[in-house]
């Protein structure tokens, strides 16, 4: 979502002349998290504002920033896909607010999986815990201790990968260095706080295992291990025995109940030796590779399946769906009052202007968002196959191509080629352009054979219409030759490049930029064919 309302831009908050805060994502105990944009590297980011209650002076903010950079260097050594990267720590102009800039992960927080009346399937709970244990094993080997593991700090990405957020954040805010609150209360979340944290004792990797036990209990029971206000919770963590899971849910396997009780032991040295042991004990409850989930293993509607990584380990990424080949039904457009159409066309004009400004700064990701934001409303008002809507989609695909996002641009160009073939004919200029651009996307993605076939088909159409020396034909001929060279088919490329250079010299002159480039390519090929000696 771009920061726009009512068709006019709302200036985004910018920190460090680089990071724009676009949309608040969450409001948590340690700080608010925003979806942001990195104007330097043209990428989305997550930006966390450390709460002002935790930052009581500019000196403390500077100390926190230094401490963050120290912790971030350590955290960066956790080489695991389940640990989102942390990019930067920024003090605002007042030197009293600290922003942490991190990788933005598209996923669902584990807290969304917690439903008191519908505890998770055993395989889902085990899959989450096993993935968290894997992440912790890499962290503890550094060593980095999380200190604040809880459902809101665990995210399940769309492909089922579990991400553990905020590594090092609790360490940055630790109270043994500086009191961060008026009471000096310990940093952490009381429902998942180990006895040693409550006492202010030594933190060890087993501290994270206790929190993992709390999380796993809650996933299986649908409710926390202990409940009450913060003082009641701290007392229970110190003295109360957790209710065994099978008393709350009869279908929990006994060994899994035993593991959770082992994780929740009061003395840290009495808990499992390490995360590797925890993972081994979770293995029997994980789905087998290639298995198909049963109806009983369905999790909450709309949430990613964390068992997918175990059912399909190292599976290829999901391919983007191809546009349907069904017979086209002309789009019916309801009558729109003139003011509505005028508003839509004004919004389209503004989107193009806004995107052009962003492209001047090479802010491709944001330019794509700006164009995309008006596509749906334009399609509703003007029809999905209207000239204006297809033009918007073509511009969005072109921006993706310019920004190097060939994987997203490819299906868009293919769908556009089909749409233009329906509305303007398969030999029309926009249909040909989109087919050629789709082929170029394939070439960039390593699908050179398919790209060559498609470009040759387009060239055949262009030759039949406009001959061999139109600007479009020359561009296609050169592109095909370059791809042949990339495949090592030097002789075939040479057969194309010789007449291409002759045509370029005849039509545009010997000093034409492309004519000179082709001449240089031919010279290199001849040197290569003659073993490095000139003819």
In a domain, 207, yes or no: yes
**Dihedral over Cα of 298, 300, 303, 309: its sign:** negative
Catalytic residue among 38, 92, 141, 148: 148
Helix 338-360 to helix 387-402 angle, to the nearest 10 degrees? Answer: 10
Confidence bin at 336 (pLDDT 50/70/90): very low
Claim to verify: residue 493 and residue 468 sit in the same structural domain: no
State residue 507's pLDDT score: 87
What residues have CB less than 8 Å from 49, skipping those under 6 apart? 31, 32, 33, 34, 97, 98, 99
Distance CA 480, CA 327 (A): 32
State residue 116's pLDDT score: 82
Better-predicted residue by pLDDT, 268 or 337: 268
Claim to verify: residue 248 and residue 356 sit in the same structural domain: no
In a domain, 347, yes or no: yes
CB contact at 8 A, 124 and 98: no
Confidence bin at 9 (pLDDT 50/70/90): very low
In a domain, 424, yes or no: yes
CB contact at 8 A, 383 and 296: no
Q: What average pLDDT does the chain have?
A: 83
pLDDT in tens, 232-288: 999 999 999 999 999 999 999 999 999 999 999 999 999 999 999 999 999 999 999
**pTM of the predicted model, to two decimals?**
0.62
What stretches of 18-72 adopt beta strand conformation (E)?
Answer: 19-27, 31-38, 43-50
In a domain, 320, yes or no: no
CA distances to 122, 128, 280 from 286, in Å: 8, 10, 10
In a domain, 319, yes or no: no
State residue 236's pLDDT score: 94
pLDDT in tens, 384-404: 888 999 999 999 999 999 988
What is the extent of the structural domain holding 531?
484-535
The closest alpha carbon to 395, from 372, 361, 365, belongs to: 372
What residues have CB less than 8 Å from 70, skipping those under 6 apart? none
Instruction: Flag whether pLDDT at 533 surpasses 90.
Output: no
148 is catalytic: yes
Q: How far apart are the first and last CA of the chain?
A: 60
Claim to verify: residue 138 and residue 278 sit in the same structural domain: yes
Confidence bin at 53 (pLDDT 50/70/90): low
Q: How many domains does the chain fold into? A: 4
Confidence bin at 170 (pLDDT 50/70/90): low
Q: Which of 27-36, 192-201, 329-338, 391-400 has the lowest mean pLDDT?
A: 329-338
Claim to verify: residue 298 and residue 415 sit in the same structural domain: no
Confidence bin at 56 (pLDDT 50/70/90): low
Percentage of the chain modeled with pLDDT above 70: 83
CB contact at 8 A, 137 and 275: yes
Claim to verify: residue 232 and residue 343 sit in the same structural domain: no
Claim to verify: residue 386 and residue 491 sit in the same structural domain: no
Residue 513's Cβ-count burial label (10 Å; 0-12, 13-18, 19+) is exposed
What residues have CB less than 8 Å from 446, skipping those under 6 apart? none
Domain boundary among 103, 122, 146: 103
Q: Which of 170-179, 200-209, 421-430 has the lowest mean pLDDT?
A: 170-179
Better-predicted residue by pLDDT, 332 or 408: 408
Confidence bin at 63 (pLDDT 50/70/90): confident
Claim to verify: residue 217 and residue 363 sit in the same structural domain: no
State residue 12's pLDDT score: 65
Any idea which residue has 């164009």 for tokens?
371
């Amino acid at each position: 979502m771009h920061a726009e309302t009512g068709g006019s831009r709302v200036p985004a908050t910018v920190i460090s002349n680089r990071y724009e805060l676009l949309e608040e994502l969450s409001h948590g105990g340690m700080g608010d998290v925003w979806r942001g944009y990195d104007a330097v590297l043209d990428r989305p980011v997550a930006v966390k504002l450390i709460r002002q209650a935790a930052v009581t002076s500019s000196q403390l903010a500077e100390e926190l920033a230094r401490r963050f950079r120290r912790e971030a260097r350590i955290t960066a050594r956790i080489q695991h896909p389940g640990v989102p990267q942390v990019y930067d720590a920024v003090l605002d102009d007042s030197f009293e607010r600290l922003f942490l800039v991190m990788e933005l992960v598209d996923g669902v927080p584990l807290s969304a999986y917690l439903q008191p009346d519908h505890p998770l399937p055993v395989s889902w709970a085990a899959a989450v815990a096993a993935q968290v244990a894997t992440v912790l094993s890499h962290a503890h080997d550094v060593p980095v201790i999380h200190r604040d593991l809880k459902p809101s700090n665990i995210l399940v990405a769309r492909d089922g990968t579990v991400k553990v957020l905020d590594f090092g954040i609790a360490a940055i805010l630790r109270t043994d260095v500086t009191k961060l609150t008026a009471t000096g209360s310990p940093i952490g979340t009381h429902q998942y706080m180990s006895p040693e944290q409550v006492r202010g004792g030594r933190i060890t990797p087993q501290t994270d295992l206790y929190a993992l036990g709390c999380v796993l209990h809650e996933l299986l029971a649908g409710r926390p291990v202990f409940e009450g206000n913060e003082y009641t919770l701290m007392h229970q963590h110190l003295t109360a025995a957790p209710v065994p899971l099978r008393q709350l849910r009869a279908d929990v396997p006994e060994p899994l109940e035993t593991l959770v009780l082992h994780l929740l032991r009061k003395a840290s040295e009495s808990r499992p030796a390490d995360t590797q042991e925890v993972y081994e004990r979770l293995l029997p409850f994980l789905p087998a590779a290639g298995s198909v989930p049963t109806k009983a293993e369905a999790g909450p509607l709309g949430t990613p399946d964390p068992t997918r990584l175990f059912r399909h380990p190292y599976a290829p990424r999901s391919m983007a769906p191809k546009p349907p080949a069904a017979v086209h039904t002309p789009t019916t457009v309801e009558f729109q009052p003139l003011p509505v159409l005028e508003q839509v066309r004004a919004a389209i004009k503004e989107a193009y202007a806004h995107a052009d400004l962003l492209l001047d700064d090479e802010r491709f990701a944001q330019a794509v968002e700006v164009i995309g934001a008006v596509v749906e409303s334009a399609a509703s008002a003007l029809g999905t196959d209207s000239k204006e809507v297809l033009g918007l989609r073509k511009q969005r695909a072109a921006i993706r191509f310019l920004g190097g996002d060939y994987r997203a641009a490819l299906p868009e160009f293919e769908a556009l080629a089909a749409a233009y073939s329906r509305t303007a004919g398969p030999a029309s200029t926009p249909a040909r352009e989109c087919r050629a651009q789709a082929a170029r996307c394939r070439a960039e993605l390593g699908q050179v054979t398919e790209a060559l076939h498609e470009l040759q088909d387009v060239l055949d159409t262009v030759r039949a219409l406009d001959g061999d020396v139109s600007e479009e034909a020359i561009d296609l001929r050169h592109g095909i030759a370059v791809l042949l060279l990339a495949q090592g088919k030097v002789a075939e490329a040479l057969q194309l490049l010789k007449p291409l250079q002759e045509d370029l010299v005849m039509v545009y002159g010997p000093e034409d930029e492309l004519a000179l480039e082709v001449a240089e390519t031919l010279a290199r090929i001849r040197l290569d064919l003659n073993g490095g000696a000139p003819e």
